[in-house]
Amino acid sequence: MNDVIAGKEALFLPSDAAARGRRGAVHLLATAIVGDTIVIYLSLAAASWIRFAGPLAKWGDPAGLPWTAYMGHVFFGTALFSFLCVHFQVYTFPQMMRFRQLASRLLRASCIWGIAYIALAYLLHFDRPLSRLYLTLAFCLATSGLLAWRFAFHRWASKAAALGHLRQRVAFVDWSPHAATLAEALVSDRRHLYEIVGCVPPAHAGYSHPPPARMRQLGAHDTLHALLQRHEIDTVIMADLNPPDGEMTDLATRCEKEMVEFKVIPSCFQSLVSGLHLETVRGIPVLGVSRLPLDNPFNSANKQIVDTAGSMLGLVLSAPLIALFGLLVYLESPGPIFYRQQRLGRDGRPFWLYKLRSMRPDAERDGKVGWTRANDPRRLRVGAFMRRWNIDETPQFWNVLRGDMSLVGPRPERPELIVNFKESIPHYNARHNIKPGITGWAQVNGYRGDTDLTERVRHDLHYIENWSVLFDVQIMLQTFFRQKNAC
């Protein structure tokens, strides 16, 4: 890991050509807000023109209205859409540099806007009745316009970040393995708005994790006041949560006086860190892990609706496939065409998982339980084809409809195989916080069957922390269009 950092030595040196990160971030935010507002306004105005003066002017009964008569609707719709963009945190810096997450938030804001627009127009009794055709045009134009504009803006911002024009200058105080991992991530991902200037090494003796040799050492702890000014530091990251008494408080106070952002690496929270939140109980700050995307009832309801509708549709569409391949399985290997296994679901509760049988009926006659392997000799010829195209998984739509599983989620495992995993694999049981899925982020990235369990868990946690409807759709599309190794 240190070699990765060492190979990027130039990234730790201050750059005279780099603009101040804080000003660049403010300009980036202002550009996004102004650009979004203009795109929304032009989209709604264009919808009004198309409906009342353009190609659709004679459609239905527009009552002879000039297109400018809808300008009140246009201004109101623009203000409402802009408010919802703020509500869905479209203007936070991490989202602005991650287009997929940003697109998911924009789509959610757009859907809520359409519903709210209709409801408020009805409740407020506008002078001009709200045209359904206008609303449809406005929704399509505003949504597509925002996505197109933000995609272009994202490309420009990513390029500007890669060139260092939008970065905040960062200094580490103390060092730890987690600080090394963070530094590597900042160096390797040019979309991050951070430029590493260097490190202030630990002040206390006996420290077991010194910074790498090529990491620029800025100076001693007792000269931190001068270092912050000399190197124009925007952000200080505290890498050690166990400094000598008073050191962290003094550092946070110093950063506050110098108007420097102060951050800490919560090394005691290494799973589900995106769920960290701070609450106050009688003035006492309490930091904990609880708020994840699917902890939100609205998100959970959305996922349940998609699961129910998707499983019903999946059962209907897959019925001919199940019948055809069930017949092929029986012709090659007489016996039951369905196979069930006990798996662990949400909160570690067991359930029966159903599949089309892809192996011989006596595949586990010796009583040994294990994962399938590439070119497994127990596998049927038709079973190899089914596994390649995930056809053997189609009966699991019934598990989804029953509520045992979701369309997308961590893959459920057999209790016999994972009895000791919670002790040997970090954060393994955290993946049981949500329902398991027919497919998942780990599976579409190749981690299925007898593969690296640590990487599989890491991908599952990434999915849990970054869930969105758009992310689920992406995974389902990748499942259909990517051929993976057999499970």
- Highest mean pLDDT among 13-17, 74-78, 286-290 belongs to 74-78
Question: pLDDT band for position 262 (50/70/90)?
Answer: confident
Asked whether the predicted pLDDT for residue 162 surpasses 60, the reply is no
Tokens of 304: 């349940």
Higher pLDDT, 308 or 468: 308
43-53 pLDDT per residue, tens: 999 988 888 87
Q: How far is CA 344 from CA 266, 369, 405, 411, 472, in A?
A: 30, 15, 10, 9, 21
Q: What pLDDT was estimated at residue 248?
A: 75
Asked whether the predicted pLDDT for residue 455 surpasses 90, the reply is no
Q: What pLDDT was estimated at residue 425?
A: 77
Question: pLDDT band for position 35 (50/70/90)?
Answer: very high
CA separation for the pair 104, 14 (Å, rounded): 36
Higher pLDDT, 140 or 292: 140
Tokens of 110: 């757009």
Q: What pLDDT was estimated at residue 243?
A: 64
Which string of b and e fits 167-204 if b means at least 16 CB within 10 Å? bbbbbbbbbbebbbebbbebbeeeebbbbbbbbbbbee
Q: Percent of the chain having pLDDT more than 70?
A: 73
DSSP H or E run through 235:
strand 235-238
Q: How far is CA 2 from CA 208, 210, 435, 454, in A?
A: 15, 11, 38, 21
Q: What pLDDT was estimated at residue 46?
A: 92
Q: What pLDDT was estimated at residue 269?
A: 57
Question: pLDDT band for position 2 (50/70/90)?
Answer: very low
Average pLDDT for the chain = 77
Question: pLDDT band for position 16 (50/70/90)?
Answer: very low
60-69 pLDDT per residue, tens: 655 556 667 7
Q: 55: helix, coil or strand?
A: coil
Averaged pLDDT for residues 54-75? 70
Q: What pLDDT was estimated at residue 354?
A: 93
CA separation for the pair 213, 217 (Å, rounded): 9
Asked whether the predicted pLDDT for residue 17 surpasses 60, the reply is no
Q: What pLDDT was estimated at residue 12?
A: 42
CA separation for the pair 375, 357 (Å, rounded): 16
Higher pLDDT, 304 or 252: 304
The beta strands (E) that lie in 188-248 are given as: 194-200, 235-238
336-371 pLDDT per residue, tens: 999 888 998 988 889 999 999 988 876 666 555 555
